[in-house]
Structure 1
Amino acid sequence: MRKAVNSQKDSQQNNKKSLTNMQMPRFKQVCVIGLGLIGASLAQAIKDNGLSERLVAVDRHAPSIEEAIQHGLLDAGSSALSDVVAGSDLIVIAVPVQAVQAVLVDIKTAMDNGQLATDCIISDVCSTKVNIIDAAKSVFGSLPTGLVPAHPIAGAENSGYHARRATLFANHSVIICELPTTSIVAIDKLRWLWEAVGASVMAMEAEHHDSILAHTSHLPHLLAFNLVEQLASHDDNLDMFRYAAGGFRDFSRIAASDPKMWHDIFFANESAIVSALDEYGVYLQTMRQLIIDKDSTALMGLLGRAQAARRHFGHMLASTPYTDTSAMSASYNITPSNTVSGTITIPGDKSISHRSIMLGSLATGITHVTGFLEGEDALATLQAFRDMGVTIEGPDNGKLTIHGVGMNGLKPSKTPLYMGNSGTSMRLLSGILAAQPFDSVLTGDTSLNKRPMERVAAPLRAMGAVIQSTGHSGTAPLSITGRDTVGKPLQGAEYDMPVASAQVKSCLLLAGLWSEGTTTVIQPEVSRDHTERMLSAFGYPVTVEGNRISVTGGGQLTGGDIAVPADISSAAFFMVAAAISQGSELTLTQVGINPTRTGIIDILKLMQADISLSNETHVGGEPVADITIRGSNLVGIEIPEHLVPLAIDEFPVLFIAASCAKGRTVLTGAKELRVKESDRIAVMAEGLRTLGIDCTVTEDGLIIEGQGTESENGEVNNSQPVFGGGHIISHHDHRIAMSFAVASLRASEQITIEGVETVNTSFPGFAELANHIGMSIQVDSTNA
């Protein structure tokens, strides 16, 4: 029996609704075939958003049609297409995949009878696509110009008309297969419809869609059904289900789905699902054998990579931080305070943390790392080597165990290596990957992908590397062609660096480990030598002759113990905090005082800061010491250019110190600051002016007019405010954010700093540690 019913509500109400929602209808009549969860939810979303002048539906279940008309959802409905379809310019098929061909037959009949235009848009919501296209070819002979196969990646535990939700598709993906036979108008109009109901639309070829969904949706459902059947078949099945833990309940939840629907999907996507099952079987056999062999290292590697990958791809796809998924945007609200005191431990050195992972992974044997910095940048490096097959246990309270794969043991990553915001990771890895036999792609977040990479790509090309950067400015993503494709190894070269840069130097030295002959880097000024020190610690010979550093290819690295000292770049914020505030005394324990990093100490001493070192020793080949800083009467200076490379990352906070000093401070020779996470010269100048400081930007530096004043005895008075209050935009640069936080110690009013979520890139826990010594920072997260 078929039944046609018309709603009492006319199109005027639809038009009124559309104006209310600021959407003009682009369809005269939409016909939804199938009022299950997806079909009814789409119908409700179309109705609520006023996207069509009329809305009709077809469903065999008469009560669903009657209720939908009663609720005012439909203008008409029936169990037969021919009763309601006339005049429709969009048909959405929302029936099980095995029923689609019969629906297409009815649609063709309606076209042949003149009820539908031949260019009517025909779409679907099925989770397989190749079979839908094949069915359309079978029915129509050639594909209709209005056919746009689609698949919304959305669902719910409950199904049927009563489970419908107009918001079901909001913030979910919809895949559209843009066939070459389909009109552009049809594709654009369907894309508009899905975006209008809140979905994010992406295009994908039908075969690729079916393969992806076979792995990510169809296979998990199949396994869930199978696991429940397996447990239910046991003699002690009651106990099995009674004592099933949360993992079983979570995984098997999807086995409560409609069996008929999944029966049809499994058959419709047979080829892709069988392929996914075969691949899964290989992985199961591998894990089975690891357990039988009690291969602890390999099993930990597999489990660790899986755990890390689960988090990593979520962060990568959403461009969110590794260390805080809840705070997509954060700010500091800082109340001025006058003094800091105490004894604190600073997190591990970021530069050394990076290199410990890189060289530990390439070494033979096991490397144990302590003091590892669990910040964004170092975690990006860690993940990259996991992606290339290295087993890394941890991090656990700064401890890592790296099972090195040797100089030739890295494997190609199946995805681009995501560096987050870490320029160090990308530039140093470029040197390593340029020498590998396989192709690689390096990418990062929006900020990193704007930063210059030709400074490493160009000299690597001179060694024979094949690297393609992006755009006219030579930015990431970087595509690196493997040596197996190139056909010959890298060649050792001599490179005279135009600007001192530890990242460029390290990149070329690392590439030199695989190069034929000797690679020599000549630096105009001394720069950080962590790479040279750590290569030596891993047993690789490095020759240092003044500013000439050389390595010869073909050697080996041997694993060992690496203790990462506290990061002097992170310590710099607290050194300046104590130096600019009255009555302060602060001790920072076991900070790395590598002579290529102590520019911050030398410059502060030239400004007459009260700094002393004690308990000097060596940890993992790096010199360390306790640093004590007391409130000081700072004076402005002309910063010696030879100290600039030794304090390149610390200049943002040194600008705060210069603002509190008496007299003018002049920085020159610091172009490197313009190509960091932000243009640190311009951004700091902007913030300083906001807080009332007079400063002048030059081509390669900054001139700051210090606001320090003399007390009655002629000494600089470090108790008076020099900064006002204000709103600072950090441009999501972690060092900018922390520097202006330090300025609050000499501010007269509250300072608000936007974009501080990136502080976790180098200094997780900065705000908490600052508050511990007497500062007053409140962290506000907009999406917490």
Structure 2
Amino acid sequence: MSKQSNPIEQTSSPTPLLNKVVIVGLGLIGGSLAAALKQRGACNEVIGIARRKETTLTALKMGIVDRASADIADFAGELGAGDVVFIAVPTLTVASVLKDLKAALGRDVVITDGASVKGSVRDDVIKLYGEFPEQVVLGHPIAGSEQSGVEASNPDLYVNHRVILTPMPENSVAAVALVGAMWEQVGAEVLAMDVDDHDLVLGATSHLPHVIAFSLVDTLAHDSHNQNIFRYAAGGFRDFTRIASSDAIMWRDIMLANKKSVLEAIDLFSTNLARLRTAIAEEDATTITGVFTRAKAARDRFTKMLMNQAYVKTMQDNQEKHIVYTVAPGGTVKGNIRVPGDKSISHRSIMLGSLAEGVTKIEGFLEGEDALATLQAFRDMGVVIEGPEHGSVTVNGVGLHGLEKPSGALYMGNSGTSMRLLSGILAGQKFATELTGDVSLSKRPMNRVANPLREMGAVVDTAEQGRPPLLINGGSKLKGIHYDMPMASAQVKSCLLLAGLYAEGETSVTEPAPTRDHTERMLRGFGYDVNREGNTIRVKPGGKLTATNIDIPADISSATFFLVAAAIAPGSDITLTHVGINPTRIGVINILRLMGANITLSNEREVGGEPVADIRLQYAPLKGIQIPEDQVPLAIDEFPALLVAAACAEGTTVLTGAEELRVKETDRIQAMADGLKNLGIQCEPTEDGIVVHGGQLTGGSVESCHDHRIAMSFTIAALRATGPVVVNNCANVSTSFPNFVDLAKEVGINLEVNIVN
């Protein structure tokens, strides 16, 4: 804000949204709203109300109000429908202002406030009016500054900051909309939240930090060495204690108004601080590391959340931004690259490392959102995990029975692997746990693991049709069972084997066709006895997992997109290094070879019990085939990309026995059929597969259905298209392949990424 003698520069609005806005309290919060409304021409007139005459004169001189007074009654007769009164006074003073407003104003004037505590204001309103009137809309702008007073008024204070409205059931829709529109006019993002939830969240995230900052600075100010403390304080100290410069009286009132939530937050913090003090005193490095790594991970997640969405829901735009890939047609792919670590092995390395005794060091960990969801879940259950940093993770195992009850639900994001495998582990714990996921995961079937777990004695509750969230009631005594899987699924098999570690008696699973065996291999790597006889796998309880080191190979599922890209684009020659070639995962190599692809494996070796190799693919014309059903389980995740290869092959490709594809992140059979048709390819989806007639891909727009594999498959399809390919809703690519875009560009795919509304 410039000197008070300079008026606010106005930018006129053709048709002001509001008529009159009266602001009671011309400090930083109220003055900044006045300044912003004036600057943007968002209302016909801004009227200021302040107790001190000097404040009103300063506001008039600064040009942030049109008129000002010490008494709302001076303007009450002018106010009516379309006018808003904003109360910007300390929390405990709001009641007296409301009393004056009730006496002076009619029910057609909308009243809102900016108090940091909503419960006390709600109670004051009900006490005063005898009910909650429809025109009183409670709100809280999340913005501030070290400066205070009308002189600190800043017309940009609310730009890109959040304003939380806490509407009551009695509020009129029009009143809430008018208040929301006022805040949007000054550049704020308007959100809605329940009153009690607001006070609980703000008590922990805003009020507690102020308590700590005020107390810390007060403590150090009484230290005999305080001059040196403050003189040599680093930037972190200055940043953290900045909030101790906030208005002391205002924050006194906030603490008293939100006493219950603030005291709960202080008690929880004090308990955890005492625990950390004990760990430092006893030189308990593992506990200290756990606190610090959990805190860092939580802060990083918080930062990411702030970039997307905070609190509950946005009122101004319920449509999330989405990422669109626009891919130029044609080209070749060439190069020597290494794709990220195998996602399936990354999940299992965290799970078994956490349940092991000792320290497990992991290299090549996939830092995608799915694997990170698994990592965070075990952090939430008390496991100390260091990293990930450039693919390196250190897991301080707690043993099979060392997990702790998490403080809330475990969020699995988009990861079906996390949810299904964790269900088996959690079924054997003594505590109850809830597993939740994003919109996509919440549509996926979970009875395929819930039902056999129930047969073992677990108590598992699901939403309708067996979908998430899952509530796993711990403490049940599990018994081993034999389970014949009706459908080949590595996730179901792994879930039951992991539950079998906690069951009484042997647990055995028979699979109708071979599925990926990473769980069995890794259990053996951790020293746990697993037996296989034909298609039946058996485990018994009573063993233990011993920590080991794991080197995760590159993910063949991620490598598939580049293998298919080279297979369809003439002149291509690409090598993918250190790729896992587990016999239960090489269906994509076998199928591409049957179609005529020129694939060479070299440098074959075994790393941590998993076979790996460098894979080179040089372009050769493809032909359509009848895909052998025994290869389907070995390539179940790779079929979206393989169907692109089929579209570019000469002749017809027939896929059967792949009903599992209909219950992945989306119905991948239908999604691929729809997209291929949009790009000019004739195909017919069937109940358990699809028939694809090879032809010429055209340009066009396709829908990924928020499925990362669909998105990446249609991205590489542009290499053989006659026009640009636009792929919608690609945000979930990061769940499995964080650097896909960079590698695609590196090998020659002309890809542009756009974020749109």
TM-score over 0.5 (shorter chain): yes
Q: Quick one: structure 1 residues 100 and 601, their matched pair in 2 at CA, closer, same or farther if it must change by over 3 Å?
A: closer
- Which of 498, 503, 521 is matched with 1:515 structurally? 503
Q: Residue 683 in 1 paired to residue 654 in 2?
A: no
Q: Which amino acid aligns with 1:383?
A: Q
Deviation per residue, 1:385-437 (Å, 9 max, x gap): 11111111111221111001111211222232121221111121122223322
Structure 1 window deviating more from structure 2 (613-622 vs 84-93): it is 84-93
The structure that has the greater radius of gyration is: 1
Q: Which amino acid aligns with 2:265?
A: A
Deviation at 1:54, TM superposition (A): 7.6
- Which of 37, 40, 60 is matched with 2:28 structurally? 37
Secondary structure (helix, strand or coil) at the match of 2:244 reads helix
Instruction: Give 1:127's aligned residue.
Output: 116
Deviation at 1:644, TM superposition (A): 0.6
Instruction: Give 2:317's aligned residue.
Output: none
Deviation per residue, 1:432-475 (Å, 9 max, x gap): 2233222222222222222222322233233333333233x432
Instruction: Give 1:440's aligned residue.
Output: 433
Q: Quick one: structure 1 residues 746 and 641, their matched pair in 2 at CA, closer, same or farther if it must change by over 3 Å?
A: same
Q: Residue 541 in 1 paired to residue 529 in 2?
A: yes
1:5-16 aligned at under 5 Å gives the runs: none
Instruction: Give 2:700's aligned residue.
Output: 726
Deviation at 1:224, TM superposition (A): 2.0
Instruction: Give 2:444's aligned residue.
Output: 451
Q: Quick one: structure 1 residues 584 and 77, their matched pair in 2 at CA, closer, same or farther if it must change by over 3 Å?
A: closer
Q: Quick one: structure 1 residues 450 and 148, their matched pair in 2 at CA, closer, same or farther if it must change by over 3 Å?
A: same
Counterpart contact for 2:163–2:183, Cα < 8 Å: no
Deviation at 1:665, TM superposition (A): 1.0
Structure 1 window deviating more from structure 2 (401-410 vs 514-523): it is 514-523
- Which of 575, 598, 618 is matched with 1:630 structurally? 618
Q: Quick one: structure 1 residues 748 and 267, their matched pair in 2 at CA, closer, same or farther if it must change by over 3 Å?
A: closer
Q: Quick one: structure 1 residues 669 and 168, their matched pair in 2 at CA, closer, same or farther if it must change by over 3 Å?
A: same
- Which of 170, 181, 191 is matched with 1:184 structurally? 170
Secondary structure (helix, strand or coil) at the match of 1:520 reads strand
Instruction: Give 1:12's aligned residue.
Output: none
- Which of 475, 478, 482 is matched with 2:474 structurally? 482
Instruction: Give 2:71's aligned residue.
Output: 80
Q: Residue 741 in 1 paired to residue 715 in 2?
A: yes
Counterpart contact for 2:49–2:56, Cα < 8 Å: yes
Q: Quick one: structure 1 residues 528 and 105, their matched pair in 2 at CA, closer, same or farther if it must change by over 3 Å?
A: same
Instruction: Give 2:93's aligned residue.
Output: 99
1:588-667 aligned at under 5 Å gives the runs: 588-667=576-655
Deviation per residue, 1:131-171 (Å, 9 max, x gap): 44565677x49556469573414222143345153872765
Q: Take 1:144 and 1:547, find their aligned partners in 2: how far apart are those partners?
A: 67
Q: Take 1:582 and 1:123, find their aligned partners in 2: how far apart are those partners?
A: 66
Counterpart contact for 2:133–2:170, Cα < 8 Å: no
Q: Quick one: structure 1 residues 190 and 776, their matched pair in 2 at CA, closer, same or farther if it must change by over 3 Å?
A: closer
Q: Take 1:283 and 1:294, find their aligned partners in 2: how far apart are those partners?
A: 16
Counterpart contact for 1:56–1:85, Cα < 8 Å: no
Q: Which amino acid aligns with 1:757?
A: A
Instruction: Give 2:164's aligned residue.
Output: 174
Instruction: Give 2:9's aligned residue.
Output: none
1:750-769 aligned at under 5 Å gives the runs: 750-769=724-743
Deviation per residue, 1:650-700 (Å, 9 max, x gap): 111111222222221111111111222222222222332333322222222
Which ranges of structure 1 fall in alignment gaps of 5 or more residues? 1-15, 322-326, 708-721
Q: Quick one: structure 1 residues 120 and 531, their matched pair in 2 at CA, closer, same or farther if it must change by over 3 Å?
A: same
Q: Take 1:367 and 1:652, find their aligned partners in 2: how far apart are those partners?
A: 35
Q: Take 1:561 and 1:431, find their aligned partners in 2: how far apart are those partners?
A: 24
TM-score, normalized by length of structure 1?
Answer: 0.84
Deviation at 1:546, TM superposition (A): 1.8
Structure 1 window deviating more from structure 2 (424-433 vs 579-588): it is 579-588
Q: Take 2:225 and 2:466, find their aligned partners in 1: how far apart are those partners?
A: 64
Q: Take 1:196 and 1:466, find their aligned partners in 2: how far apart are those partners?
A: 50
Q: Quick one: structure 1 residues 656 and 384, their matched pair in 2 at CA, closer, same or farther if it must change by over 3 Å?
A: same
Q: Quick one: structure 1 residues 53 and 583, their matched pair in 2 at CA, closer, same or farther if it must change by over 3 Å?
A: closer
Q: Residue 249 in 1 paired to residue 256 in 2?
A: no
Deviation at 1:637, TM superposition (A): 0.8
- Which of 376, 381, 394 is matched with 1:388 structurally? 381
Instruction: Give 2:316's aligned residue.
Output: none
Q: Residue 467 in 1 paired to residue 492 in 2?
A: no
Instruction: Give 1:240's aligned residue.
Output: 229
Counterpart contact for 1:767–1:777, Cα < 8 Å: no
Q: Percent identity?
A: 50
Q: Take 2:566 and 2:101, find their aligned partners in 1: how far apart are those partners?
A: 78
Q: Take 1:33 and 1:224, find their aligned partners in 2: how far apart are those partners?
A: 29
Instruction: Give 1:8's aligned residue.
Output: none
Deviation per residue, 1:570-627 (Å, 9 max, x gap): 1222222333333443332222111111111111121122223233222111122222
Counterpart contact for 2:342–2:555, Cα < 8 Å: yes
Q: Which amino acid aligns with 2:87?
A: I
Secondary structure (helix, strand or coil) at the match of 2:514 reads coil
Q: Quick one: structure 1 residues 143 and 32, their matched pair in 2 at CA, closer, same or farther if it must change by over 3 Å?
A: farther
Counterpart contact for 1:148–1:176, Cα < 8 Å: no
Q: Which amino acid aligns with 1:254?
A: I
Q: Quick one: structure 1 residues 559 and 319, their matched pair in 2 at CA, closer, same or farther if it must change by over 3 Å?
A: farther
Q: Take 2:730 and 2:118, find their aligned partners in 1: how far apart are those partners?
A: 44
Deviation at 1:107, TM superposition (A): 4.6
Secondary structure (helix, strand or coil) at the match of 1:636 reads coil
Q: Residue 529 in 1 paired to residue 517 in 2?
A: yes
TM-score, normalized by length of structure 2?
Answer: 0.87
Q: Take 1:105 and 1:703, find their aligned partners in 2: how far apart are those partners?
A: 73
Instruction: Give 1:780's aligned residue.
Output: 753
Q: Take 1:268 and 1:107, find their aligned partners in 2: how far apart are those partners?
A: 21
Secondary structure (helix, strand or coil) at the match of 1:608 reads coil
Q: Quick one: structure 1 residues 689 and 537, their matched pair in 2 at CA, closer, same or farther if it must change by over 3 Å?
A: same
Instruction: Give 1:712's aligned residue.
Output: none
